[in-house]
Each structure stands twice: as structure tokens, then as C-alpha cells.
Structure 1
């Protein structure tokens, strides 16, 4: 448990004390999701450090006392990096967390080396997904009620939802957020957009989308790729909203290819 930004938050980190030629990844999770949901991704990236935290009112982080927004939670994340002694990181976010990752990169450019946006949007100008799936996402009971998960499973996992055992594996890692924590996450990005600022995002950016994602349709990745100058878009065939888990090998290979690539001309110019 770490105190940062006036809050107590549960923070998880992997391999920070081990030698590495790569900067750690600061990861922002999706709405209502606890650390354990995406911990398999952290465990697969064995050559680099990884940092993730439970948002207020999710996982084991206490409920927020006051509302927050992408700017204040990005400031809080920077304080967590200070507590861990980390100067510069690669920043990554999925879904709701992709909005926070964009904000962090714009707000803390000196601490952000490269940026990865997964299954996310630029905010309000998004192309909405299936109304039934989006409507169910408003209810935090989906994280504990198998009935809700069954209804959402094809949206979450795409074609991989049919794989035996995947549902039990996913449910076993979920901890329901508190109603207050979930509501504050919804309010945090209500009306939010970064679209006007994205052309000023002077970073190398990887955008990852699932072709079968009915929660955040892949066309939202095209919008991001059009707005962000130094970006590339990768679409995972058969991938639903959680393709980072169902297409783990492909996702990790794509991440490594992007994060380990030699510095671009733009990065070399900025460094000079």
C-alpha cells in the first residue's frame, strides 16, 4: 500500500530490482479491474519491470474520498513512480486506462518514453460499441455475477470465448469494485477527450485493437492513429476487448517489437 496524491493505493510491481536493458512499463488498467486481471501480461514480459496499481475503490485500494479526473490520477501515478525511484517509463493503458495513459503521456512527457494504447479511444468522439454490452458495463456486479459475465463473454474475449476453461480462469482473478469506486471511475472520464491534444503527442505510439471488440470497435483505433503523428495501428483478428489475454503470445510479441525497436529519428532528435 502506497500513499500518493493524498490517497492510499495498492501498488504491484514486478522485477524492478533486477538488471534490465529496458525501462519499466507503467500500466493503467480498465474500468473496475483489479491488478490480478492483467497480471498475466506482467508475468510474460520477463525482461522488464512492470508497475500497476488498483484505482481508488477497486481491488484493495480504499474508496476515493473525493472525485478525481485523468489529470489528478496521472499526477498521482507520477508520485507512485517517485516512491519507486523510477524516472522514465514506457506507458501503457487498456480501455478506460488507455485514456489515463494518454493523459499521463501529455502531462508528463519527460517521464514517458513510448506509449501503448490498447482497446481504447480518444474520449467523447468515440464510435460507440454495442449498446447492450455498454449498458451492462455500467453495472459493477458483472465482475462477480457469472450471469453477467456469460452475457458479456463474447464481447470481452471475441472468438476465444469458446476456449474451454477460459471463463473460470478469468472469474478467478476478478474482485468486484466498490459501487463508489466504480461510479467515480465513470465520472472521471465523463465528457473527457484528448482529441485536440493528440496531434501534439510527440511520442512513438503503438495502438492495439481487437477486430471482434464490440465494446470499443476497432475503428476507434483508426481515429487515434489519424490523430497521433508517430503512431502505428495493430488489429488482432478474432480478438475481443481483452485480446491482451486471449492473444497473449501475439500481444507480447507485438509489444516487444515496438518497445525494443531502435530509437526513431524523432526520438534521436529530441534526445539531442
Structure 2
């Protein structure tokens, strides 16, 4: 099984569909130089949601992003999956598009996948960036009222609803009004499927990195906001204590400020990835 012979080039971006392990995964690559950066997205979000971050990163960096099964342009998996299986699939995907050693950035739910990928691929993953994320089922949780709003993907399909709940759900800049959040979600080309969202919820609920963090040896940057209702900042402190080579960057923002304040926060990521 190989990359579908359909590539749509726009500026420096290449879109493709890669088949791995029975999954058809939509991939977008911005070609550049150096060690490629793989972006693992938050739950239910398509790769377009990461546009503000990609635009703010070093323009010379190769950036790879993808839709997990059941989100964006990737069809849902016929059966539930675990994060170890998805991390294995990500490795096979990278091989098929010709990537060897990579850096990995995970946002929120994608941070769980990034941790699992780093654990399973100690020589292939050079550096790790964990943004607004925690250790899965064993972590300091957000308020139940906040987490209840994440049980459905409605915010991705109803921008009015997304704007209305943005402040309570995401904190940070979203408290000034949800227009920025709604605008980011509106650029999704595909809203994904309900079953795909459920599979992501199950994968996260049955996984934890807490017992294995000492075995993740990569240099790691942890980016956390002090006003994150979903992932309280205490989780970053716990991860910093358990990861052997971690640095914490705390900002006075919320869960998705890496997108709404990308111009301010992305240089920290770039500096970490390019430092000797």
C-alpha cells in the first residue's frame, strides 16, 4: 500500500492520502529544510485548525500535519483504536512519505499521541513539544462542567455554539469573546464524524503516560497556560518533574492560545527546536 497518486500543490503545501493499517489518512506537508516537525492535533479538529500555528513557525521548517481517523478528511476507523496503535500508524505514515527522524508537537489530545510516539520511537523522535496537554486518564482534571462540553463535537460544526462556550471551555484569549475560536473552526474543510470523535475519546480515556514519563528521554518543551480550564497548569509541573529532559514555558493564557496568539508563542517553539 502506498501514497495515493493524487497530490494537490498550493504554494509550498502538498496534500495526499496515505493508507496505513487499513486507515486512509489525509496528510498535508509544507516542504522546507532541516528536521521535519510533525503536528498532532487536538480532539475532533482537522488539520486546517493548525493554520495559524503553521504560519507563525519558521517558514524554512518542513511541517507535517494529518487528520486522525474520523476527523477532517480521514474516514473513521471501522473499530476503536488505542494510542499505541495510532502511534505505530503514524510511524508507518512518515516512512511512506519519506521522513526519517522528526520532531513532534502535540496539542491537547494530540499531546498524548506525541508522548506515545516519542516513547515508541526513541531514535526517530528527536525533540518533543507538548502544548496544553497532560498525562491522560491519570492527571489533574479540569472542572466536570468544562469537560462535559467536550463530550460532543458540536463546537466544530456549530460556530455560534463554539463562540458561546469558548471562554468557559478554553480560557485565555477566548474569554474576550469567542469570535477568534469560531473563525479558526470555520476554516475546517471537513467536520469529521461522530464515531471518529467517540473513538478519540475512548483512546484518551484508556491511556496514561504517567507511569512511563521517566522513559521518554527526548529533550521536551512543555507549553502551558495559567488559565486553561481543560488542562490545569499543575499537569505541566507534574510532567516536568517526571520527564528527564523537560523545560516548562508557562504563559498567562488558555488552552488554545498557541493558535489565537501564535505570533507570540510560536517563536518559543522555534527557538527550542533550533537550539544546539
In the alignment of these two chains, the number of paired residues is 257
Residue 240 of structure 1 corresponds to 254
The structure-2 alpha-carbon separation of the partners of 1:188 and 1:164, relative to structure 1 and needing over 3 Å to count, comes to: closer
Query: Is contact 1:141–1:176 with CA below 8 Å preserved after alignment?
Result: no
| Structure 1 counterpart of 2:263 | 249
Could you say which residue in structure 1 is the equivalent of 2:37?
25
The secondary structure found in structure 2 opposite 1:251 is helix
How far did residue 170 of structure 1 move?
Answer: 1.9
Equivalent positions of 1:102-181 (< 5 A) are 102-154=115-167, 155-162=169-176, 165-174=179-188, 175-181=190-196
Alignment partner, residue 200 of structure 2: 185
Q: Which structure: greater strand fraction?
A: 2
The answer to whether the Cα contact below 8 Å between 1:161 and 1:167 also exists between their aligned partners in 2 is no
5+ residue gaps, structure 2, are: 1-16
Match of 1:231 among 246, 260, 263: 246
Q: 1:40: Cα distance to partner?
A: 2.0
TM superposition shift of 1:194: 1.2
- What are the Cα deviations for residues 42-80 of structure 1, in whole angstroms up to 9, with x where unaligned? 222212001111111110111111211111111110111
Where does structure 1 lack aligned partners over 5 or more consecutive residues?
263-272
CA RMSD of aligned residues (A): 1.6
User: Residues 69 and 77 of structure 2 are in contact (CA less than 8 Å); yes or no, is this contact kept in structure 1?
Assistant: yes
TM superposition score normalised by structure 2: 0.88
TM-score relative to the length of structure 1: 0.90
Distance 1:40 1:149 in 2: 18
Instruction: State whether residues 70 and 100 of structure 1, in contact with CA within 8 Å, keep that contact through their aligned partners in structure 2.
Output: yes
Structure 1 residue 168, shift from structure 2 partner: 4.4
| Contact 1:42–1:50 (Cα < 8 Å) also in 2 | yes
